[in-house]
Amino acid sequence: MAERSEEVKLLGMWASPFSRRIEIALTIKGVSYEFSEQDITNKSALLLQLNPVHKMIPVLVHHVKPISESLVILEYIDDTWQNNPILPQDPYEKAMARFWAKFIDEQICVAAMNVVGKTGEEKDAAVEATRDLLKFLEKELVGKDFFGGKNLGFVDIAATLIAFWLMRTEEIVGVKVVPVEIFPEIHRWVKNLLANDVIKKCIPPEDEHLRYIKDRMVKLNIKPA
Amino acid sequence: MTTGEVKLIGAWASPFVMRPRIALNLKSVPYEFLQETFGSKSELLLKSNPAHKKIPVLLHADKPVCESNIIVEYIDETWSSSGPSVLPSHPYDRAMARFWAAYIDEKWFVSLRSFPKAQGEEETKAALAQLEEANAILEKAFIDCSKGKPFFNGDNIGYLDIALGCFLGWLRVTELTGGHKLLDEAKTPSLSKWAERFCNDPAVKPVMPETAKLAEFAKKIFAKPHA
């Protein structure tokens, strides 16, 4: 029986892309963990205690110590469990992986969220801005099954945000931001993801996920474009 | 591969550029500093960092590495056998260093930058309060990370020291021009003492811009509207 301090606990939320990243990484490493579903509209005392700075999920607890920020957690997981590495070994490749993951969170995610709820010219400009950023990722995929090469890696895990949140919700949001004509590599990559057992296990079930997004949009008074 | 020419595209006044320069100094890695002219971007920069078009960019055997903290990690991993370790060795300590570095860029620096932009007494008070709150958080972070040692990284300066310390020049300029003490010995005693130690570190001194020179530069680039 494992010692209490060895236990891994994840405070997360089933529909959050950031939470799902951690589940993917822990699954790749074969690490068992206790999942604690959090209500982000009514934050628990535990969450506020474990992440007082940002008060957000995901939070990983290992050896009783909490770690926050999804990309920081992914690196911690890779540093702690050395099997099935998520980051490349080569320092240059590693730097590139970190660069693209940061680009996804700080640039693409922000630009994509900016599309939601916009109409007319504003919408067109927001879509164009997002596509300009996605073109960098499109280039990175040429000749590769995944961003990580033959296997899922750090950037693939971060980019599930694009595959299963940005792209999956296009119909609901009413804007086709990532058409296959402009982004054939990204579409090919999504097909590779969907054929992967870890991804199949770790992404939110589609119907439930889409229902949740629809509900949220209604609650936030956002109309599809 | 540690062989191959090292170049750094940057500018003397940029705190982000200071980060890899300190790391290169810690590792005793010689490099060519390619100074960008303020107000324009060189062909080399645009080619090396097409996604952001920003400095710093490290060129190692002509391969570009971008984003200051990512460059620092790259330097630490590439020249791992030279000089002290820039990142801590324990996974949890590494996670804390990365967490706080992200906080510094996303919250603390944003607070610092909003201070000179504040117009009128109300806005200035609010900006000051926000920065003080962020400082208090970092004061605690310093105590947790340093564990009684002189730096966030322990006995020697490291990733997190560099991530925060690079802003000390600009912090001093903001104090001078704003007339407010932003790093207060009374409120954040540990951070204040750390700041002095950091600025006196031999890897930092050669690349920390003089406050007077930086203040003059700031005057030129920030046309502050009169209240």
Give the one of A68, A71, A94 whose C-beta lies nearest to B77's C-beta: A94
Instruction: Supply the pLDDT for residue A80.
Output: 98
- Position A163, amino acid: A
**Percentage of residues of chain B with pLDDT beyond 70:** 96
Instruction: Supply the pLDDT for residue A3.
Output: 52
Q: How far is B1 from chain A (nearest CA, A)?
A: 9
Q: What is the mean pLDDT of residues A187-207?
A: 97
Query: What architecture is domain B91-219?
Result: Up-down Bundle (1.20)
Q: Do B63 and A68 touch (CB under 8 A)?
A: no
Residue pair B57/B8 in contact (Cβ under 8 Å)? The answer is yes
Fold category of B6-78 in CATH: Glutaredoxin (3.40.30)
Instruction: Supply the pLDDT for residue B69.
Output: 98
Q: Does residue B132 surpass a pLDDT of 70?
A: yes
Residue B151's H or E segment, with its range, is none
Residue pair A154/A98 in contact (Cβ under 8 Å)? The answer is yes
Distance from CA of residue A54 to its chain's centroid?
18
**Could you report the per-residue pLDDT of B166-218, keeping only the tens digit for each?**
999 999 999 998 888 999 999 999 999 999 999 999 999 999 999 999 999 99
**Could you report the per-residue pLDDT of A36-72, keeping only the tens digit for each?**
999 999 999 999 999 999 999 999 999 999 999 999 9
CA distances from A142 to A102, A132, B66, B78, B107 (A): 20, 17, 21, 27, 36
B73 contacts on A by Cβ (under 8 Å)? 94-95, 98
Instruction: Supply the pLDDT for residue B227.
Output: 43
Give the one of B67, B91, B99 whose C-beta lies nearest to A99's C-beta: B67
Q: How far is A205 from chain B (nearest CA, A)?
A: 31
A63 near B CB under 8 A: yes
pLDDT, mean over chain A: 95
Q: φ, ψ for residue A92 (rounded to 5)?
A: -70, -45
Range(s) within chain B of domains with CATH label 1.20.1050.10? 91-219
Q: Does residue A21 surpass a pLDDT of 50?
A: yes
Q: Which of residues 77-116 of A touch B (CB under 8 A)?
A: 79-80, 91-92, 94-96, 98-99, 102-103, 107
A95 contacts on B by Cβ (under 8 Å)? 65, 70-71, 73-74
Instruction: Supply the pLDDT for residue B115.
Output: 84
Residue B64's H or E segment, with its range, is strand B63-66
d(CA B168, CA B189): 15
Residue A65's H or E segment, with its range, is strand A65-68
Q: What is the mean pLDDT of residues A93-114?
A: 97
Range(s) within chain B of domains with CATH label 3.40.30.10? 6-78
Q: Do B67 and A73 touch (CB under 8 A)?
A: no
**Could you report the per-residue pLDDT of A162-173, keeping only the tens digit for each?**
999 999 999 888
Q: φ, ψ for residue A32 (rounded to 5)?
A: -80, 145
Give the confidence band of A6 by pLDDT, cuts at 50, 70, 90: confident
Q: Do A136 and B50 touch (CB under 8 A)?
A: yes
Prediction pTM value: 0.96
